[in-house]
Chain A
Amino acid sequence: MTSIKMLSRIAAALLIASLFAVPGFAARGQADFTRFVALGDSYGAGVSNASINERHQAFSWPAILARQANAPDFVQPLVSFPGLGPELQLLNVLSFPPVIQPAAGSGQPLLLNFPRPYNNLSVPGAAVQDMTRITGASPNVGPSAAQFILRGLGTPVQQALAQQPTFVAVWIGGNDLLGAVLSGTPDALTPTDSFRTAYNAMLDQLVAGAPGAGMIVGNLPTNPNALPLLNTVPPFIVDPATRQPVLGPDGQPIFFIYESGPGLVAQLPPGSVVLLPAAARLASGVGIPPTLRNVPPFNLLPNVGTPLSGAEVLTPDELAAIGARAAEYNGVIQQAAQQRDIPVADIKGLFDRFATPGGMRVGPFTFSPAYITGGLFSFDGFHLTDIGYMFFANEYIRTINREFDTAIPVASLAQFFQDNGAFFGQLIFTPEFEMSREAADSILRYATQPQTRGRVRAAR
């Protein structure tokens, strides 16, 4: 056989093979963002500094994803500043502890009469079961934010399907864990069976109602220690002047006391955490063992000997129980998604990266879960900053790119430079950078605060 003939046979074989080649991407649907909806909780809603308001809604992870993917007409239930839950603001960073207070006044929903369901149906406070349960019609069912977000038009899943979505992004389940964290007891965790039932019900309805849509879900953080809510206040006495542990006669730190059971008081075991909101009570002497009542300077504090409540602390056992439950939920999410060919964004991995020893390096910056200075978590200690939500959105973008063979650019820190006159007027965006009008409008409204010619350019 001549080499020409051989070559032509090989070519023919290759051609035939290519006709029968199976696409390498098993995810259901396509990454078509023509009609993009997002389902979620306060993270999806863009809650930051204990507030939902348009300054941060513009940087909710669904909003960032929509911008990066050029999703048209991505509408969110915007709320005017200072938001529902007035935004926490940092007033003094030089004092210890820093002064953080809510802004005065209250915000209003701006798009209550918007004529169709919102694209972002994330409801602050929602748990998995709420996705197929709450409608916002009754003030007594579900989180209060449901009233202005869902407006009685149906459950989040129903409102998503009503838009005939081409792509659905979901991150839900955080509140099934967070209740336990906030209340200091694993008793508040959603049982895994209930979680499984609710998660599968949600996906069943979505797949049945939008069989052609691309979808993505995300798993949950399993390391509660990544939250400033838990990693800021040490479980032992710290001298506010030196910020070093006060040592007992045995040379060891003096651990706080807490109510270990009904009528029982014990010292916190090493590895415990004290929740951030307890910091103010600690300053009055709460948690300090009664043996120090007459020892200066503790004798000046009124509440020495009063134990922290069980709700203000998490012991190592409680932390382990929450972490273990989170891991079970992640198993549920993985299985439920896999059965339906839905990719899973690794938010657990993201939070693990947040907590990288030494910090998470991005360009010239090092982010960490440190309170106030770390750059990732807002002043409420568990919601993200705008930049934190960017990293969250990018985890979704990377997963979509991998599973749907798309090339959506990640959002970058270049969007988050303060214009303090260092660089003279314009921020750094390429002309291709586009966002939905609503997002642009909300950024523009934000931009009217400081002088930011650059943001106007950016939004054009």
Chain B
Amino acid sequence: MRFTSRLLLLITVTVAATGAAFGSGFMIPEQGAKASSMAGAFAATADDASAMFFNVAGIAQLRQAQMTGGADFITFDNQFTGDPNDEFSAGTTGVYKRHLFVVPNGYAVLPIGENLTFGVGLFSAFGLRTNWDDPWIGRFSSRDANLKTVSLQPSLAWRSSNERVMLGAGLEYRRLKITLDSNIPLSGSGVNPFTGRIVDIANAHLTSEWGAALGFTAGGLFQVSENIRIGVSYRAPMEVGLDGMADFTQISTGNPQLDALVASQLPPDQPISVDFPFPGIATIGISCTALQNWTFGLDVNQTTWSEFDTLFVDFETTPAASLVRPQNWKDTITYRLGANHRVSETWDVRFGLLLDENPQRVESVTPLLPDADRTGVTFGVGYRRGPWTLDAGLMYLALADRSTEGRSAELNGTYETNATLWFTNFGMKF
């Protein structure tokens, strides 16, 4: 009883705090402070309840009921600089509005008998917010994009009696909501003939209801020798169908004649629908505990971002106005190297390094999501006392400067971004 009420409390808090954030592509794989402090090199370690995200088989080694809840706190610095040779963007800059993004997670596990463990995880492994500060030259591409997910994952894992083999699987119920906001210029030259200046004529605000889909995850963890473990994990691709509304708000040009023309041609507010794809993630990891009090992990993820070939928002009343944005993303590989050092009975320190490939071809780098290859370094600590654990860490994520090389049809320039992620998780055993 005590357990379920605590769990419910945790879930309530978690859902309320769900915000949007920032990850390679639009993934946020930092879903547990211990694992994230090891740069996510956790598939072959997977020894806390967040294993439900990193490698679900890992919860089989948890033989005591426990739960953990926490969040990532993400801030970033960014700057867009217009291409000095581009007649649209030269001389301009842009930044995101200041936000602190909070990405929560919560996990609870309950062992059943000697070999089974049941668990429930709640996390937001995908999310995106690119909210450009006005005035923003790229507003005709995107002013604000907000993609939020919440996943609920009941899981079950089994271990062999000799503890050398662990297998697990989970069913992921993922909810998704998207908001896209952009402005519309006068068509053609964009020039108001009365003023000779380019003019915004409307704002387009596309917002979906929450939609949901079911997916799954499965994993295995194998003790291949005394000090070597191998973990494999798979999270299936999904597609979430969304319904929503497109709202068009006319912006006065200052000229009644032009405004009348615009009003006669602006699409009506109308229902929209989207089928939104998510990639699959396959992970193989190895961990080594040969050095006393040290755990080293190396993970490699393949993420099938090629699922994201087109962003297509179907406008149901005026199909000709539908939003079609080719993406043509590529599958990516991420390398994660992490270490956990047990300093004392109560303290751990953790380090990590990750190299994360970005999925975008240069043509699809736009204000909606200007991604770039990332290098991340992490540091963290863990503290244990009785049934309590506290994990905290941080990641500094440097994105390579990403130039559109003059090849964007929407906006040419260079995006510079750096992110700092703070992780914290608080856990208790029962």
Identify the A interface with B (CB < 8 A): 90, 92-94, 359, 361-368, 370, 372-376, 378, 385-387, 390-391, 394, 398, 407, 409-418, 420-430, 432-433, 450, 454
A450 to B252, CA, bound (A): 14
Within 8 Å by CB of B190, from A375, A407, A415, lies A375
- Do A93 and B261 have beta carbons less than 8 Å apart? yes
Interface centre among A390, A420, A433, A450 (most CB of B within 10 A): A420
Q: Which 6 A-B pairs have the closest CB atoms?
A: A363-B88, A375-B189, A418-B197, A422-B200, A412-B90, A375-B191
Given contact pairs A414-B82, A418-B199, A362 touches B134 in the complex (Cβ within 8 A): no
- Do A359 and B188 have beta carbons less than 8 Å apart? yes
Residues of B within 8 A of A362 (CB): 87-88
Residues of B within 8 A of A413 (CB): 87-88, 190, 198
Q: Is the interface of B mostly helix, strand, loop or mixed?
A: loop
- Do A374 and B189 have beta carbons less than 8 Å apart? yes
- Do A92 and B257 have beta carbons less than 8 Å apart? yes
A457 to B83, CA, bound (A): 22
A407 to B257, CA, bound (A): 42
- Do B134 and A94 have beta carbons less than 8 Å apart? no
Interface string of B86-103 (1 = CB under 8 A from A): 111111111000000000
Q: Which of B15-23, B58-66, B115-123, B135-143 contacts A (4 or more CB under 8 A)?
A: B135-143
- Do B90 and A411 have beta carbons less than 8 Å apart? yes
Residues of A within 8 A of B409 (CB): 361
Taking CB as reference atom, which chain B residue is nearest A374?
A: B189
Residues of B within 8 A of A426 (CB): 135
15 contacts between A and B (CB under 8 A): A92-B257, A363-B411, A365-B188, A367-B188, A373-B189, A410-B84, A411-B87, A413-B198, A414-B82, A414-B137, A422-B251, A423-B135, A428-B92, A428-B94, A428-B137
Query: B40: shortest Cβ distance to chain A, in Å?
Result: 38
Q: Is the interface of A mostly helix, strand, loop or mixed?
A: loop
- Do A364 and B90 have beta carbons less than 8 Å apart? no
A430 to B410, CA, bound (A): 20
Query: A232: shortest Cβ distance to chain B, in Å?
Result: 14
Given contact pairs A409-B84, A420-B200, A423-B200, A365 touches B194 in the complex (Cβ within 8 A): no
- Do B84 and A418 have beta carbons less than 8 Å apart? no
Interface centre among B86, B189, B411 (most CB of A within 10 A): B189
Given contact pairs A364-B140, A394-B87, A429-B91, A418 touches B188 in the complex (Cβ within 8 A): no
Residues of B within 8 A of A375 (CB): 188-191
Taking CB as reference atom, which chain A residue is nearest B253?
A: A420
Given contact pairs A414-B137, A420-B199, A93 touches B89 in the complex (Cβ within 8 A): no
Given contact pairs A409-B84, A426-B135, A365 touches B190 in the complex (Cβ within 8 A): yes
Residues of A within 8 A of B258 (CB): 93
Residues of A within 8 A of B196 (CB): 378, 385-387, 416
Residues of A within 8 A of B140 (CB): 363-364
12 new A-B pairs (CB below 8 Å) besides A387-B196, A420-B252? A94-B260, A367-B189, A373-B189, A375-B191, A376-B189, A394-B87, A410-B84, A417-B197, A417-B198, A420-B254, A422-B183, A422-B200
- Do B251 and A421 have beta carbons less than 8 Å apart? yes
Residues of A within 8 A of B87 (CB): 362-363, 390-391, 394, 410-413
- Do A409 and B91 have beta carbons less than 8 Å apart? yes
- Do B254 and A412 have beta carbons less than 8 Å apart? no
A368 to B258, CA, bound (A): 19
Identify the B interface with A (CB < 8 A): 82, 84-94, 134-137, 139-141, 183, 185, 188-200, 203, 251-254, 257-258, 260-261, 409-412
Interface centre among B137, B197, B200 (most CB of A within 10 A): B197
- Do B254 and A418 have beta carbons less than 8 Å apart? yes
- Do B190 and A364 have beta carbons less than 8 Å apart? yes
Interface centre among A363, A367, A410, A424 (most CB of B within 10 A): A363
Taking CB as reference atom, which chain A residue is nearest B411?
A: A363
Residues of A within 8 A of B94 (CB): 428
- Do B89 and A412 have beta carbons less than 8 Å apart? yes
- Do B254 and A450 have beta carbons less than 8 Å apart? yes
A385 to B139, CA, bound (A): 24
Interface centre among B136, B198, B258, B410 (most CB of A within 10 A): B198
- Do B199 and A365 have beta carbons less than 8 Å apart? no
Query: B90: shortest Cβ distance to chain A, in Å?
Result: 4
Within 8 Å by CB of B197, from A366, A370, A416, A433, lies A416
Given contact pairs A94-B260, A426-B135, A364 touches B185 in the complex (Cβ within 8 A): yes
Given contact pairs A414-B82, A421-B252, A365 touches B135 in the complex (Cβ within 8 A): no
- Do B134 and A93 have beta carbons less than 8 Å apart? no
Query: B256: shortest Cβ distance to chain A, in Å?
Result: 10
A418 to B194, CA, bound (A): 11
Residues of A within 8 A of B183 (CB): 422
- Do A410 and B141 have beta carbons less than 8 Å apart? no
Query: B34: shortest Cβ distance to chain A, in Å?
Result: 44
A83 to B248, CA, bound (A): 40
Given contact pairs A374-B189, A413-B88, A424-B134, A363 touches B251 in the complex (Cβ within 8 A): no
Interface centre among A359, A373, A414 (most CB of B within 10 A): A414
Given contact pairs A387-B196, A414-B91, A420-B253, A366 touches B188 in the complex (Cβ within 8 A): yes
Residues of A within 8 A of B195 (CB): 418, 450
Residues of B within 8 A of A361 (CB): 409
- Do A364 and B188 have beta carbons less than 8 Å apart? no
Residues of B within 8 A of A374 (CB): 188-189
Query: B391: shortest Cβ distance to chain A, in Å?
Result: 43
Query: A328: shortest Cβ distance to chain B, in Å?
Result: 31
Given contact pairs A368-B189, A375-B191, A450-B254, A410 touches B90 in the complex (Cβ within 8 A): yes
Within 8 Å by CB of A93, from B92, B197, B257, B410, lies B257
Residues of A within 8 A of B93 (CB): 428, 430
- Do A365 and B254 have beta carbons less than 8 Å apart? no
Taking CB as reference atom, which chain B residue is nearest A363?
A: B88
Interface centre among B87, B94, B199 (most CB of A within 10 A): B87
A374 to B191, CA, bound (A): 8
- Do A412 and B197 have beta carbons less than 8 Å apart? no
- Do B410 and A364 have beta carbons less than 8 Å apart? yes
A251 to B398, CA, bound (A): 68
Residues of A within 8 A of B261 (CB): 93-94
Residues of A within 8 A of B193 (CB): 90, 93, 372-373
Residues of A within 8 A of B189 (CB): 365-368, 373-376, 387
Residues of B within 8 A of A390 (CB): 87
Taking CB as reference atom, which chain A residue is nearest B251?
A: A422
Residues of A within 8 A of B85 (CB): 398, 409-410
Residues of B within 8 A of A92 (CB): 257
Residues of B within 8 A of A372 (CB): 193
Within 8 Å by CB of A433, from B91, B139, B188, B194, lies B91
Residues of A within 8 A of B253 (CB): 418, 420
Residues of B within 8 A of A432 (CB): 91
